């Protein structure tokens, strides 16, 4: 950790579905401009953590503190306006809106909205502004998802499996974009399976298994950690996603 003030602090966050503890006392701190990888096998609780922090799920216990303000259990739109934004594993753009409108609608509640063309340019979609969503490739839809997150002038973005299904060229392009966003001071929590991609954008990781934290620290150390290796290579019982 650096000496800069903590941007987001997650304290002992627990999420329960019925009798299933999908997330168990997970804690995390992130500073402005920092990027942390969030890894774990399928069902380890990565997306549950993202959904809980973003207000889509209500936590059973624990706290989410953004810049010193407790936002635990706030509604999703309030959390988004406060500065926490996200992308989705499977992008779901507003299909009846154009590319431009998709970004425009996200910028409406930004305190300091950037011009839409500028936001689109940051994800290399400027020339598609007036296109319908149906004309975008999967990779372009993922970048549009990023543009929508950016349009709200976020302090932190949860990037949920952005790399899945991208070609090596597209992966490199997206990794460069994420590094650029960090340079602008945006913190990022990158949920990812592809270690090669993760190495390009984060230095440290938090590893989840069955909803629990099993490792936090440098990515290179995680790859050498015995428990991490056992979970990834030896299999485990899943606890919901």
Partner 1 sequence: MLFEYAIVGGVLLGIFYALLSVGLNVVFGAQKIINLAHGDIIMLGGYAAWELYQTYKISPIISTIIVVPITVVLGYILNRLIAPRLAKASDPEMLSLILFFGLSEVIEALSSLVFGNAERSLPVSSIPTAPLKLFGQAYPADWWVSALVAIPLLAIFLLFLYRSSVGLQVRAVISDSVEAAVAGINARRVSGLYFGIGFALAACAGVWGVFIFGGVSPTEGPAITVTAFAIIVFGSLGNPIGTLVAGIIFGIFYQLAQVYIPSWSNLVPYALVIATMLTRPQGLFGRRQRVA
Span of 1-9, 101-109, 200-208, 218-226 interacting with partner 1 by CB under 8 A: 101-109
Any contact of residue 85 with partner 1 (CB under 8 A)?
Answer: yes
- Residue from 11, 25, 67, 101 in contact with partner 1 (CB under 8 A): 101
Q: Which range in 5-13, 108-116, 177-185, 227-235 contacts partner 1 by CB under 8 A?
A: 108-116
Residue of 14, 31, 110, 216 that binds partner 1 (CB under 8 A) = 110
Q: For 48, list phi and psi in degrees, rounded to 5.
A: -60, -40
| Site track 46-65 with partner 1 (rule: CB under 8 A), x = hit | --------xxx---------
- Tokens 């230095």, located at residue: 203
Residues 168-197, mask of contacts with partner 1 (x by CB under 8 A): ------------------------------
Q: Give least dist CB 207 to partner 1, A.
A: 25
CB of 231 to partner 1, least distance (A): 30
**DSSP helix/strand/coil, 5:** coil
From candidates 94, 176, 220, 223, binder to partner 1 by CB under 8 A: 94
In the block, residue with structure tokens 């602008």: 184
Q: Is 62 left (phi over 0), alpha (psi -120 to 50) or beta?
A: left
Helices (H), 83-238: 99-107, 116-122, 138-151, 168-183, 195-201, 219-224, 226-234
- Contact set for partner 1, span 129-148 (CB under 8 A): 148
Question: Distance between CA 180 and CA 201 in Å, rounded?
Answer: 10
- Which runs of consecutive H residues, i.e. helices, occur in the chain? 46-53, 76-82, 99-107, 116-122, 138-151, 168-183, 195-201, 219-224, 226-234
CB 129 to partner 1: min, Å: 15
Total residue count of the chain as it appears in this document: 241
- Whole-angstrom Cα distance, residue 83 to residue 98? 24
Binding site for partner 1 (CB under 8 A): 54-56, 75-77, 80-81, 85-86, 88, 92-97, 101, 104-106, 108-110, 148, 151-152
């Amino acid at each position: 950790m650096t000496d800069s003030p903590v941007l987001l602090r997650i304290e002992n966050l627990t999420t329960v579905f019925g009798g299933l503890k999908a997330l168990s006392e997970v804690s995390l701190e992130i500073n402005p401009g920092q990027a942390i990888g969030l890894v774990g096998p399928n069902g380890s609780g990565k997306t549950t953590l993202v959904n809980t922090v973003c207000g889509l799920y209500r936590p059973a216990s624990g706290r989410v503190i953004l810049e010193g303000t407790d936002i635990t259990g706030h509604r999703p739109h309030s959390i988004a306006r406060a500065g926490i934004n996200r992308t989705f594993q499977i992008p779901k753009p507003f299909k009846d809106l154009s590319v431009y409108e998709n970004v425009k609608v996200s910028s409406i509640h930004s305190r300091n909205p950037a011009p839409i063309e500028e936001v689109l340019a940051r994800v290399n979609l400027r020339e598609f502004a007036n296109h319908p969503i149906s004309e975008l490739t999967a990779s372009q839809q993922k970048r549009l998802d990023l543009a929508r997150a950016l349009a709200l002038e976020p302090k932190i973005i949860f990037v949920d499996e952005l790399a899945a299904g991208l070609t090596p060229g597209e992966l490199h392009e997206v990794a460069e974009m994420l590094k650029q966003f960090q340079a602008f001071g945006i913190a990022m929590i990158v949920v990812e399976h592809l270690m090669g991609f993760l190495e390009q954008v984060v230095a440290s990781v938090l590893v989840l298994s069955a909803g629990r934290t099993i490792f936090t620290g440098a990515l290179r150390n995680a790859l050498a950690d015995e428990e991490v290796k056992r979970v990834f290579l030896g299999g485990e019982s899943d606890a919901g996603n």
